[in-house]
Each structure stands twice: as structure tokens, then as C-alpha cells.
Chains A and B, each alone.
Chain A
Amino acid sequence: MKDKWAKRVFQAAAGTTFLILLGLTFFLFREGMPALYRSPYEELVFAVHPANPVQQLSTNAVRSLVRGEKSWRELGGPDTPAVAVHLGNIERYLSGPFLPGQLQRKLDSLAHLSGIFLALPASLMPGFAKRIRVPWRGGAEIFGSSRWSPTYEPVPAVGFWPLLVGSLWVGAIGLFVVVPLGIAMAIYVVEFLPARLYYPVKVMWEVLAGLPSVVVGFWGLVIVVPWVQRLFHLSAGETALTAGLLLGWMTLPLMASLVEEALQAIPQLLYESSYGLGATQWQTILRLKIPYILPSIATATLLSAGRILGETMVVLMVSGNAPILPLSPLDPVRTLPATLAAELGEAPVGSYHYHVLFLMGVFLFLLTLALNLTAYFIRPRDEKA
């Protein structure tokens, strides 16, 4: 009778876990997918002077027109300077307190400007203006653009590339630190560490693995950031390198434990066979043990990569938080998860910004899922030598 209840409790726990996971995934996709088919400026109308022959502008054309980087002439319009009016600069057209009708009169008075470009809600759009189209292609904007500026008016830039490349820099540097060091630590512990020091060292690993990442981030901010800044003569020490170094260091216990486990699992007779043939300890390590555990090293590397790519707090603190395409590891970067953490709080629920952040979450989820699944499928099976 008792057993039956115990079984039910376990079933319920397992079922709940599964449902929560399923629900989370569903929620992530449901909130993320609209970024692909909705537009960030659904409530805006774009318009120009009636004499302007332009019928349609690309999002890039709008951005460069607003920033003053391109003239109307280059975009097929009249030979007059562009005057852009949008929600980001509309307060310039208001003098003093907002009075109903005042703004409308002001906008109407711009009818004489043949270079006018308007991006406004339909309710504010003055009657003289000729509407044009600015089509939004979500997939191309998200995966093809190299700018991340999700609140830019009137047309945001939501390219994942700067953030993805930021993540890749941090991940590559982190792996560059954690893989060789993790293997070296594991070999040291298995091969050279005196037995009486084994447990103290393992306890230290556990402590390191259990450090809250905000503590690591704080330590990095105070110690590593100035150190990187001085070493490379930078104006700021918050770089991809700093974040990569810290994340690599944080992931060491995971990597080292996995490799150590694999080393300990090598059958004794197998390495005795190597010694029996006259191999030295180093020859046995390099020619037998490391080749033997290569699949485990690959698994451990992928799991570490997943951990590094998903880590948020430390990168948020020491990477410089600049969502620009980083060309060197000494550039400040922002990673995908750091962007989610930094921006989700200020993105209004249901806004395009909100959806695009969720899409980023989906992307990150698929990335780590792929890493973990690959690690799972290449992991060494129980093969008795």
C-alpha cells in the first residue's frame, strides 16, 4: 500500500518536471515566434511630401535618412535636405507645455518642406502627407543585420550578429582557458597528487563550482578588469577577454571533474599493460590515457561550452555590455544571455522588443540544446576493454 503511494509521488514529480519543461519550451516559442512575422512599427505610418516620387523605402534607407547619412537624392527623392519627424524627436516641434491641437498645427505647417519624412502614429499624421511603404522582413533583419539597437526610432535594428559574435568570442576564450587547464588539473590530480591531498583538493573544486556567479563577477570587476586594462593599455578593461577568462576559470571544476572521472575509469590493467611494455608515466598519459578518454574530453568540452554560453551574471558585469559587432577579443561585448538579462525588464510585454528577446531566448535554448545533445550522443558508452 505504501509502495503504491510512493510510486505515485515519484510519478507525479517526474510528470510535473516534464510538464514544466514542456510548458517553458512552449511559452518560449509562443512569445518568440511573433518577432519573425510581426513588425516593430505596426502602429506607425510613414509618409513624405506629395511631390516626393519615392513610393517605398527599405528599413536601412530609413535609418540612414534619419541619421543623416544619406540624402533624398541617393534614395531617389528630391534634391532637398531631409527633415525627419518621428516619435524620437517630436518634442523638438513642441514649444512649452503640450496643448491639444498645437502639435497638429505645427506638423501641418511643415507642408512646405519638400524633404520632409514623417514616421508617426496615424492619428498624428498631417493631411498633406503622401504615405509610403517601409516593409519589415523579420528574418532578414534578425539574422542578416549587424546592428543591435532595439529601441531605435523609428525603425529599430535587431540583428543578432553582434551578440552572437560576442557570445562566440567569450565562449572561444573561455574554452581556450578551460579545456587545457581542466585536462591538466585532472591529470595532475589522478597521476601526481599525493593521496592524502585528494579530498582537500576535491573540496576546493566543489567550493569553486558552488561560488555564486555574482561573487565571481565582483571579483573579476575589482581584480581582473583593471589587470586586463593595464596589461593591454586599454581605455576600459571590460572586454570579451575578461569575460572569457573569468568564465573559463568558473567552468574549470566542471571540466576537470568530468575529465578526472574519465581518467579514473580507465581500467587498471590497461595502463599497466602500457607500463609493462616499458612506457614511462608521461608516455602512458600522452599515448594511452589521453587518446583513451578523447570522447570524454569532447563531451566535457561541449558541456563546458554550454555552461559558458549560458552564463549571464559574470558577462553582464565584466564584458563591457556593448552590443556592437566585436572585431577583437579586446573589444567590449555583450553576449546573448546578458542581453536578455539586461533588456527584458525594460521591454514592455507584447512589444516587438519583448518578442525579439524571446526569440533570442529560443535561439539560445536551441544552441545549448544542440551542444548538450551532441555531448550526449558522442559520450563514451560503457565499453569494457
Chain B
Amino acid sequence: MYKVETHSVSVWYGSYKALDAVSLALERNQVLALIGPSGCGKSTFLRLLNRMNDFIEGFRIEGRILIDGEDIYAPTVDPVHLRRRVGMVFQKPTPFPFSIYENVAYGLRLQNRLKESQVRERVVQALQQAALWDEVKDNLKRSALSLSGGQQQRLCIARALAVRPALLLMDEPTSALDPISTAKIEELIHELRNSYTIVVVTHNMQQAARISDMTAFFYMGKLVEYGRTKDFFTNPQHPETLKYITGRFG
């Protein structure tokens, strides 16, 4: 069974068609990179997977999206429950104005089912997974806003991991970071692949080539090309893909 499957998914915002019949399938423990010029629909696609687009007025979807075989737009699905299974990291670090500990515990406390000792265990684990533990273990009570940008982004990854999502979404997670922090995040994505399935939007083709197993190229709302990253960058099948990855537009 595929981790994520989409079957001819189209999306409208009002009368504007943002995605046109996108079909793809992603296996477990793989990293999928979504690339394409601004406005091509890659972020829209990413936000479909945790139903973040539901907030936008005039949003409408056709087609089916399955995560672990379950249709996430079925009427019986509560988007709140879906989002507990699908973590998300944004293009800028978004630490809450609380302590490091409370940031990571935020998602855990929403469900109110864990004892404080369990919360603590999961917080520590998530910080370790996000490769932040060594830098913050001495003072988890520090304000999250006092961390550097790169640390904040890893904190946000830890926060998403703490609720043990089935799928992790990242929307240009390094676009606001310096090269060293970016390298750390990329390394982290590489390690997280062992236990998570990850979908990453990126503007940076080298990054897509470095971190992903699969690459999807979107252009004007269409999925133009989708394949293994190795083949994608060495032997693109579509002329548009070739033009984009060689930097002739976008």
C-alpha cells in the first residue's frame, strides 16, 4: 500500500483552477520533493495533504487523496484529527512565544490524554529526533524566541514530530535560513526518512536533488513530471522540466 495516493485531484479557489487532475503515489519512508515556479500549485498540493486549504474561502476539491489507504476528504473525516496525523513545518520558523518545552509539548497537550511524565518523555524524544536536544537540554524553560533561526526551525520540526505523525509536510523549510542551518535541516530530513514519509516543497533544485527520493514538477497547476529523483535530474522526460531544471524559466 502506498503512503500517499492522489487520484486526479483538481482544486479551485472560487473560479480559479489551481490544480488540474494531479495523480501520484508515494511509498512509505520516502522523501518527495515538490518543485516548480511560483504559483504552479506545489504549495496548494502540499496543503491538501493536511487539509490546510479548507480555511480558504471558495476552496473546492475534486478527486481523491488517500493517506494510508484512507480517503482524507471523505465526509466522515474530521480535519482536526487528520492534522494530528500529518505534521507540517512552514517556510519560516514559527515558534510559539512559550518555553522550548511548552512548544514541543503543545501538540501533545491538545489531546489531554498523556501524563506529564509521558509528555516529558515525548518532548525529549522529539528534540533528539530533531537534532536539537544537545543544544537545548540544559534549559528547556528558555523562551523559544531566544533560539537562532535554524534552531527555531528544528524546534518546529520537533514540535511536529512529538505528536508522532504518519506523514510530515515541509513548505520550503529552509527558505529563511542561512546555509549552515540549511545543511543541518537537510541532514535531518535525511535521517528522518528512516522513520517518516516526508513531502517537501522547495525552490532549490540542488536541495531537491540532495534530499529526495522522488521529485514532482508542477507547472501551471499540472503535474508535468513525476519520477525517481535520480532519473528526474539526469534524464527529464518533458521539455518544460528540462527548461526549468536548467534554469531557463521560473
Contacts and interface: CB of A to CB of B under 8 A. Distances in A.
Contacts of B88: 272-273, 276
A288 B96 contact: yes
A99 interface: no
A153 B228 CA distance: 100
Interface in B50-83: 50, 52, 55, 57, 80-81, 83
A273 B90 contact: yes
B95 interface: yes
Contacts of B81: 278
Contacts of B109: 287
B110 interface: yes
Nearest to A288: B96
Give the contact-size bracket for chain B: 20 to 34
Interface of A: 195, 267, 269-270, 272-280, 283, 287-288, 291-292, 383, 385
Contacts of A291: 96-98
Given A278-B83, A280-B80, A292 B96 contact: yes
B95 A269 contact: no
Interface stretch (B31-39, B155-163, B203-211): B155-163
B186 to A, nearest CB: 21
Contacts, number: 72
A269 B98 CA distance: 16
B98 to A, nearest CB: 7
A283 to B, nearest CB: 6
A383 B95 CA distance: 12
Interface of B: 50, 52, 55, 57, 80-81, 83-85, 87-88, 90-92, 94-98, 106-107, 109-111, 145, 156, 159-160, 163
Question: Which residue, of B50, B55, B96, has the highest number of chain A Cβ atoms within 10 A?
Answer: B96
A92 B94 CA distance: 82
A275 B52 contact: yes
A276 B83 contact: yes
Contacts of A273: 88, 90, 94, 96, 156, 159
A206 to B, nearest CB: 26
A278 B95 contact: no
8 contacts: A269-B90, A269-B92, A273-B94, A275-B55, A276-B50, A276-B90, A278-B84, A279-B107
A278 B110 contact: yes
A279 B52 contact: no
A272 B98 CA distance: 16
A192 to B, nearest CB: 13
B84 A272 contact: no
Given A273-B156, A277-B84, A279-B80, A383 B145 contact: yes
A272 B90 contact: yes
7 tightest Cβ-Cβ pairs between the two chains A and B: A278-B84, A277-B107, A276-B88, A273-B94, A278-B83, A269-B90, A269-B94
B87 A276 contact: yes
A308 B83 CA distance: 45
A277 B160 contact: yes
Contact of B107 (A267, A278, A292): A278
Nearest to A293: B97
A71 B88 CA distance: 84
